[in-house]
């Protein structure tokens, strides 16, 4: 077998050359590896706010997620969409759905969502709202992770309450009753008033009441009370009816030889000198400590609430001296 070689300048034969086929194969492999490397892309992947860079030859975003073992939940959103081609200039962003708890009607239920207004969220999940319900946060608030919703059911009810109406007391003087005594002549009867209220209920519990109207639905009946005006005193087993009582300073006097101002002869234990401007002459009196008497006389020194009692002797006058006594003007 003749071996081919390359002769050097001296005519010697060198080592055999690499076969051309092998050279071609090596070249093709190199080109393939270069092509393989060149088809890999460096893509930024952001999953729920966490960013990382991945190398991929995936043709679509869906393929990329599958290669990375990323599973999307029902309401998770990926941008661009899973059918879009992978472009290393465009990051792939996954927005994960988050749970929002809704408390209403004494129960709490959680629903997954993407950011949207409270109103849209409730409508999307079939949560019904009454016309007057309170919602927190407000319906135009855009939900974020960590938010929860509270719904208070607000209802109104018209109610009626009744309250008693006190009766008046009419007092009538009665001169057959002893002074200070009273007697019910006609019993009073309470009336009734009705209040109409608007009551606000929060989750079935009353929280406010507004009075709409009130009216007396049963008139009260006045009570009539007789008030005694008959003034009496009991002295020495006798009862005297009087019209006036006063405290006075009482002095004493005896015979002067003159008649009284009313023309009578003074009598011990009976005749009393008075100021006519205070006690009219002729008034029948009862003087404590002196007895039944009559205003028959006057005196220059007897002015105002002062009286002078007649005694038979000077000794009796001295013994009486000056005393403060109570005088009853008898009827």
What is the C-alpha separation between 167 and 202, in angstroms, rounded?
39
| Within-domain flag for 26 | no
The per-residue pLDDT for range 66-80, each reduced to its tens digit, is 999 999 999 999 999
pLDDT at 180: 85
| Within-domain flag for 203 | yes
Q: What number is the average pLDDT over the span 19-32?
A: 54
Contact 200, 133 (CB under 8 A): no
pLDDT at 236: 86
Domain boundary among 74, 95, 116: 95
What is the C-alpha separation between 251 and 300, in angstroms, rounded?
13
What is the C-alpha separation between 154 and 133, in angstroms, rounded?
5
Percentage of residues in the chain with pLDDT exceeding 70? 89
241 and 217 within one domain: no
pLDDT at 222: 97
Binned at pLDDT 50, 70 and 90, residue 178 comes out as confident
pLDDT at 25: 56
What is the C-alpha separation between 285 and 240, in angstroms, rounded?
10
Domain boundary among 78, 95, 112: 95
pLDDT beyond 50 at 310: yes
Q: What number is the average pLDDT over the span 99-110?
A: 97
The contacts of residue 266 (CB under 8 Å, 6+ apart) are: 255, 259, 260, 296, 297, 310
The per-residue pLDDT for range 221-238, each reduced to its tens digit, is 999 999 998 899 999 889
pLDDT beyond 70 at 6: no
203 and 256 within one domain: no
247 and 317 within one domain: yes
| CA distances in angstroms from 84 to 56, 68, 80, 91, 93, listed in the order given | 15, 16, 6, 12, 12
275 and 246 within one domain: yes
The CATH number for 289's domain is 2.40.40.10
Q: Collapsing DSSP states into helix, strand and coil, what is residue 315?
A: helix
The per-residue pLDDT for range 263-281, each reduced to its tens digit, is 999 999 999 999 999 999 9
Binned at pLDDT 50, 70 and 90, residue 27 comes out as low
Cis link prior to 80 (omega < 30° from 0)? yes
One-character DSSP codes across 240-306:
EEEEEEEEEEEEEE---SPPPTTSPPP-TTTEEE--TTTS-TT-EEEETTTEEEEEEE--TT--SSE
| Within-domain flag for 9 | no
What is the average pLDDT value for the chain, to the nearest integer?
90
Name the strand (E) or helix (H) holding 113. strand 107-113
315 and 255 within one domain: yes
187 and 211 within one domain: yes
pLDDT at 32: 44
Domain boundary among 183, 202, 226: 226
| Within-domain flag for 1 | no
Structural domain count of the chain: 4
| Within-domain flag for 34 | no
275 and 205 within one domain: no
pLDDT at 179: 85
Structure tokens given for 27:
């070249």
Q: Bigger pLDDT: 32 or 164?
A: 164
Contact 152, 204 (CB under 8 A): no
Pick the closest to residue 201 from 130, 306, 260, 253 (CA basis).
130
What is the residue range of 245's domain?
Answer: 236-330
Pick the closest to residue 217 from 196, 198, 191, 197 (CA basis).
191
| Within-domain flag for 303 | yes
132 and 59 within one domain: no
105 and 90 within one domain: no
pLDDT beyond 90 at 316: yes
| Within-domain flag for 77 | yes
244 and 300 within one domain: yes
Pick the closest to residue 328 from 230, 231, 251, 228 (CA basis).
231
The per-residue pLDDT for range 83-93, each reduced to its tens digit, is 999 999 999 99
| CA distances in angstroms from 110 to 73, 102, 149, listed in the order given | 15, 6, 10
| Within-domain flag for 120 | yes
162 and 143 within one domain: no
Binned at pLDDT 50, 70 and 90, residue 3 comes out as very low
201 and 136 within one domain: no
pLDDT at 254: 97
């Amino acid at each position: 077998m003749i071996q081919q070689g390359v002769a050097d300048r001296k005519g010697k034969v060198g080592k055999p050359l690499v076969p051309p086929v092998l050279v071609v194969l090596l070249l093709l492999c190199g080109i393939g590896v270069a092509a393989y490397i060149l088809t890999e892309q460096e893509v930024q992947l952001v999953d729920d706010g966490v960013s990382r860079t991945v190398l991929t030859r995936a043709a679509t975003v869906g393929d990329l997620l599958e290669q990375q073992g990323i599973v999307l939940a029902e309401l998770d959103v990926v941008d661009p969409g899973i059918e879009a081609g992978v472009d290393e200039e465009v990051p792939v962003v996954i927005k994960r759905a988050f749970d929002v708890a809704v408390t209403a009607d004494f129960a709490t239920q959680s629903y997954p969502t993407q950011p949207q207004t409270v109103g849209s969220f409730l409508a999307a999940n079939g949560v019904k709202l009454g016309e007057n319900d309170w919602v927190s946060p407000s319906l135009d608030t855009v939900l974020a992770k960590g938010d929860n919703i509270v719904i208070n059911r607000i209802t109104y009810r018209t109610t009626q309450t009744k309250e008693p109406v006190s009766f008046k007391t009419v007092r009538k003087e009665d001169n057959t009753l002893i002074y200070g005594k009273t007697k019910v002549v006609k019993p009073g009867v309470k009336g009734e008033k009705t209040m109409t209220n608007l009551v606000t209920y929060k989750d079935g519990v009353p929280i406010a009441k507004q009075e709409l109207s009130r009216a007396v639905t049963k008139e009260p009946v006045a009570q009539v009370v007789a008030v005694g005006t008959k003034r009496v005193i009991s002295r020495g087993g006798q009862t005297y009816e009087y019209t006036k009582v006063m405290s006075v300073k009482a002095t004493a006097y005896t015979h002067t030889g003159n008649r009284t101002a009313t023309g009578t002869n003074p009598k011990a234990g009976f005749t009393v000198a008075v100021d006519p401007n205070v006690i009219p002459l002729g008034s029948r009196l009862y003087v404590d400590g002196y007895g039944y008497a009559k205003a028959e006389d006057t005196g220059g020194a007897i002015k105002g609430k002062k009286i002078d009692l007649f005694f038979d002797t000077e000794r009796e006058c001295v013994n009486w001296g000056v005393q403060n006594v109570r005088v009853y003007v008898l009827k």
